[in-house]
Structure 1
Amino acid sequence: MNNQNMSDIIEAYLKKVLGTDEQVEIRRSEMANRFNCVPSQINYVINTRFTVQQGYLVESKRGGGGYIRIIKVKLLDEAEMLDMLIDVVGDKISQRNAFSIVETLYEDNMIAKREADLMLSAMEKSVLSLDSKLEHELRARILIAFLNNLKYEQS
């Protein structure tokens, strides 16, 4: 664990719990105490490592009895998942979010490692070296083309 930072450790713990339950409900302050960190560290992990692009839904309730619920999304059908991802991409997407989507496709065995690597290389910032707005728009169009291709191959 020496090579892992606190965010990696918290993420691994939550994913281990999710692995058995498919859903976990936590209290931010209790998690912060468990890992001896500030509550904002818990927020950071949840906001960056448990996103829709990565196959998670996050619900929260504030207040005295508040909680954060993380749910691993299991879609019934690959085409439905691809449609949802196309909707998430929209008209523009950052490199980070695009890479998260490709990682999810790979982890869900919808694409092979080589396909993932090719997709990632086509969407890298250095390849799309344009102004930021155009870069995000072009990356979205490329990713949607990949997703549509996968969707039609499934049929």
Structure 2
Amino acid sequence: MIGVDILSNISDIIEQYIKDILLSGQAGYVEIQRNDLADRFRCVPSQINYVISTRFTVERGYIVESKRGGGGYIRIRKMDLDKGGNVYQTVLRLIGRQISFREAEDVIQRLLEERLITQREARMLLAAVDGDLLQMAASERDRFRAQLLSVLLMAILKG
């Protein structure tokens, strides 16, 4: 289990490094080269792929673009929720007609980071959409989870 903790820690460090660059930059995005970042953190390039694909998702509020080949890069852009607009409608689009627990976690984390929900609300939402509690087929569970999360968020965000 030590190996898992070390990998998790490396992932956390890489994620924070990329977020720090995003916050300090004026462009609103960061362009990185996978191999350069892997060299910097003395890890394999697939570790960088893992961090980007799991920590910089649309549900968490990021757009990731990549250009392969010589001079290729990965561009990561943070999307802010339009707090002046209808946040609930934006969140509904993220949830869609079905959502996995992992995607639901990401949406809830993003709402927490944007300070649209409290820690307590986040814990309650996660408990409500936990797959272990929903004893049904996966496809039904993901549809039910999306409906449940949408209704609960309507009560919180529109309340």
- Give the TM-score of the pair, scaled to structure 2: 0.86
Equivalent pairs, count: 153
- Match of 2:13? 9
- Match of 2:147? 141
1:149 and 1:89 mapped to 2: Cα distance?
15
Stretches (4+) displaced over 6 A: none
Contact preservation (8 Å) 1:78, 1:151:
no
- Match of 2:75? 69
Residue 115 to residue 79, structure 1, CA distance change in 2 (3 Å): farther
Equivalent position amino acid for 2:22 in 1: L
1:47 and 1:78 mapped to 2: Cα distance?
29
- The partner residue of 2:117 within 81, 104, 111 is 111
Structure 1 unaligned residues grouped into runs of 5+: none
**Structure 1, residues 41-87: CA drift from partner, whole Å, max 9, x if none?**
11110000001111111111111121111111123326444322211
- Give the TM-score of the pair, scaled to structure 1: 0.88
**Structure 1, residues 1-47: CA drift from partner, whole Å, max 9, x if none?**
x7952211111111111121242110111111111111111111000
- Match of 1:124? 130
Q: 3-state DSSP class of the match of 2:43? A: coil
RMSD: 2.0
Structure 2 unaligned residues grouped into runs of 5+: 1-5
**Structure 1, residues 80-112: CA drift from partner, whole Å, max 9, x if none?**
443222112212111111011111111111011
Q: C-alpha displacement at 1:151, in angstroms?
A: 4.4
Residue 144 to residue 78, structure 1, CA distance change in 2 (3 Å): farther
Q: C-alpha displacement at 1:132, in angstroms?
A: 1.3
